[in-house]
Structure 1
Amino acid sequence: MKSYLLQAKRGITHNKSRTFLTALGIIIGIGTVVLVFSVGEGFKSYINAQVDAFGSNTIFIETSVPASTKDLANGASDSGNVNSSAMNAVPVTTLKNRDVKDVRSIPNVKNSYGASMGQEVVSYKGISKNIFIFGADASRFDVDKGIIALGRPYSEEEDKSLAQVTILGADIASDLFGDTDPLGKYIRVGNYNFEVIGVYERKGSTGISNDDKQIFIPVSTLQKKILGIDYLFYAVVELYDNSKAKISALDVSEVLRRNHNITDPSRDDFKVNTQEESLSVFNTILQAITFLLIAIALISLIVGGVGVMNIMYVVVTERIGEIGLKKALGARNKDILFEFLIEAVLLTLLGGIIGILGGALFAYIISKVAESFGFSWKFIVPIYGVVISLSISMIIGIIFGVFPARNASKLNPIEALNKE
């Protein structure tokens, strides 16, 4: 075996540029496979972290535009729901603070809070920024996992009394106050002065929103003084037992239908989603993208394999005299077969190793770029991805190397020497 490996090494290093160009398809294909696995694991880790931060045992209630009678008649919507975010011209105003309180009576519900959002100019000593304002009732601090680095959360009494108090996201605190302690100071929010009572620990972007660039105030204050509304955008329900989430989601739906006077579920003006359902959507999207990229990588690997096969045929032709001499000196067919097969496998393994390193490098760059945009993205190269990549490299070498190796082993020594 050692002699086979030494001969394969000599064959590969004899013409380094040709070796590199031959392995390029393998390098690209394996690099893509590793990149897909690494980015996929990083994305899943990121999503799981966001779910944990939001509360893994929670149910999400969002408003939804109910299907019109005409839509139902035309069969335009079997589910009866159209997400309100896709139809901004049709605001849904039926989700109220009462709904949030009433779902707390459900046996498996531990807590709940409602939230609204708006946008307003926030200023302090000549520094002005147009930012998003997040309003939620005080129960949010018991449900969400956000950490207040400085100060305190606002209370239920402050929410009821429309108190003008705020907690700043980390970036907003830095933009407005720099290194100065913001606690106890007042910022201008629209036409009102708000006392800064806290600053959140830096959280990073979720891809949809960035808490670091927002301020947080009592939901009643936001509704009455800033937005002039009396409804919620969404609500979050915390459960005691997440294994009963689907049953609890049905119970929540029943409470909302009763409060909204809905008898036909197809006319629901809300959607109730469990964390499992939300993760299922993300996983489905991730799997579809992964399969597509893996398919592209496999095409590259096949092309690379054909390249390896062609170059091995060239190598056999170049070394035809050497093959004839070895066979004349007693080398068996299987000795010649193994010699060229090992050379092909070593070539594809070399391409695979370079591809793994290249894919990992690109995955690392992507993680750093994501971090620069505020995403808490982990750089992960899964062991299974490396094992699969090396296995694919070996299989490609065997499949596409066996034919030229077989041809070499069957050469007649006399004819081979005469051709030389």
Structure 2
Amino acid sequence: MEDKVYTAADLKRRERANRAMFWTMIRGAILRRRSRAIMAVIASLVGAATLFVLVMVCIVVPAQMTEEMRAYGANLVVTSNQTGATENGIQKDMVEHTTEMVRATGFGETHATYRYDTVRVNSASYQMAGINPNEVRSMNKFWDVTGSWPSAENQVLIGTDVAERLSVKIGQSITVGYVEDDAVNTILDTEGTRMQVVGTVSTGGNEDSMLYVTNATLDALTGQNGQSGQNGQSRGADVIEYSSEASGADLDKLVTNINDMKSMNVTAQAVSKISQANASIIAMLTTLFWIISLVIVALTLVGVSTTMTSIVSQRRNEIGLRKALGASNRSIAVEFYVESALYGVAGGLLGVLVGSGVAWVLIRTVFDRETSVNVGLGAACVAVAALIAVVASILPVRKASRIDPAVVLREE
């Protein structure tokens, strides 16, 4: 008897028929065991949703923590070397140049300049800072200010220690004197400028023992209002404080870049207490979230694996019959893997939808931030859910491949 010769068209029809039969068997297996299929989908759904929420939080938390830490003041301080370009303080153009270097790192920043002078109040010496109130208020949100910030000439904001020592309250006035040469400062000298106390500040730090006025008020007090100092320049700032979003290695690199510019005649220094705390807290929280994510993945593996083991046990007779009819272990394994992957994809899609809603509510209510749909993250979670489902099926599939058709048929 001659062997039948199959044409290319016959092979294509046969391939289409086999493919149709394959998907028919997959569909039948899912529909006949809907309860098990739903359990597998739910296991993937919970895993994908939790993973999506955790990763979204991991994306949001570092930005949120950095923003919160920035509220505790500067993490970068630039001071004048009192030589060369900064011999008479850090001038406006140098402040702008330094700020451009900070912004060039790609991180956001806020900054404030301070000019310090020693003044007398009731013949006692205090340090007074000339500031831009809007800059300082924007950067130092942790300052507890009672009353208002100085906004007009001869208004002063004083630290709580100064207020207690002078026994003055908001609304009262103090006489502030300035003598450029401390050697001629007479203890009994009470001359000076009357300034109104418009507010008090409490931080628990050095700020409590200082006085703050606008730069214009300090210029007028020190006799530099409209005048020029050394090199024809008016007195500049002594310190620029930056609250930068840069941290860790990025902040260290920024400090190095500024200090390497010798012609700027300034010295940059990172405030390690804030920058290190920021980095360590973010690292700790991120590590915690990833550990939880791994636990969720492991639980999802167990859930899907248990469900697939149950499905294999229920289909034991069917598998034995198919193997007796000539089905290979590979074809049976592929069928189970595809079925598991479908459970994973379905659960992943539903999980991403649920996770998106939970993440939106969580980030908006807990972290008070807006968030948008992250399509890339959603696709990754679906892919991970499908992969987990396939990996979870490895042991059940091996169990299916060891089924002896002769034993199964004998039992029938």
Structure 2 residue aligned with 1:409: 401
2 CA distance for matches of 1:51 and 1:290?
A: 16
Cα distance per residue 1:37-78 (max 9 Å; x no partner): 2122233454677899999xx86459xxxxxxxxxxxxxxxx
How many residue pairs are counted as aligned between the two chains? 286
Distance 1:222 1:408, change over 3 A: same
1 CA distance for matches of 2:259 and 2:196?
A: 24
Per the alignment, in what secondary structure is the counterpart of residue 109 of structure 1? helix
Structure 2 residue aligned with 1:128: none
Out of 5-14 and 390-399, give the one that drifted further: 5-14
Which of these residues, 329, 337, 343, is aligned with residue 341 of structure 1?
337
Any gaps of 5 or more consecutive residues in structure 2?
Answer: 1-18, 79-86, 100-111, 116-128, 141-148, 158-168, 173-194, 202-206, 213-238, 244-250
2 CA distance for matches of 1:28 and 1:309?
A: 14
Structure 1 residue aligned with 2:5: none
Shift of 1:401: 0.7
Which of these residues, 235, 241, 248, is aligned with residue 237 of structure 1?
241
Out of 41-50 and 291-300, give the one that drifted further: 41-50
1 CA distance for matches of 2:398 and 2:208?
A: 81
Alignment of 1:253-402 (within 5 A): 273=270, 281-370=277-366, 375=368, 377-402=369-394
1 CA distance for matches of 2:359 and 2:130?
A: 37
Shift of 1:336: 1.0
Distance 1:238 1:322, change over 3 A: closer
Shift of 1:335: 1.3
Q: Give the number of the structure whose alpha-carbon radius of gyration is greater.
A: 2
Structure 1 residue aligned with 2:223: none
The one-letter amino acid paired with 2:58 is: G
1 CA distance for matches of 2:291 and 2:50?
A: 10
2 CA distance for matches of 1:399 and 1:300?
A: 15
Q: Do structure 1's residue 27 and structure 2's residue 45 form an aligned pair?
A: yes
Distance 1:38 1:327, change over 3 A: same
Which of these residues, 56, 59, 73, is aligned with residue 41 of structure 1?
59
Give yes or no for contact 1:37–1:381 (8 Å, CA) kept in 2.
no
Give yes or no for contact 1:26–1:301 (8 Å, CA) kept in 2.
no
Any gaps of 5 or more consecutive residues in structure 1?
Answer: 63-100, 116-134, 147-153, 165-189, 194-217, 258-270
Distance 1:304 1:399, change over 3 A: same
Per the alignment, in what secondary structure is the counterpart of residue 113 of structure 2? strand
TM, length-normalised to structure 1: 0.51
Shift of 1:304: 2.6
> Alignment RMSD, CA only?
5.4
Cα distance per residue 1:168-188 (max 9 Å; x no partner): xxxxxxxxxxxxxxxxxxxxx
The one-letter amino acid paired with 2:288 is: L
2 CA distance for matches of 1:283 and 1:380?
A: 25
2 CA distance for matches of 1:249 and 1:59?
A: 16
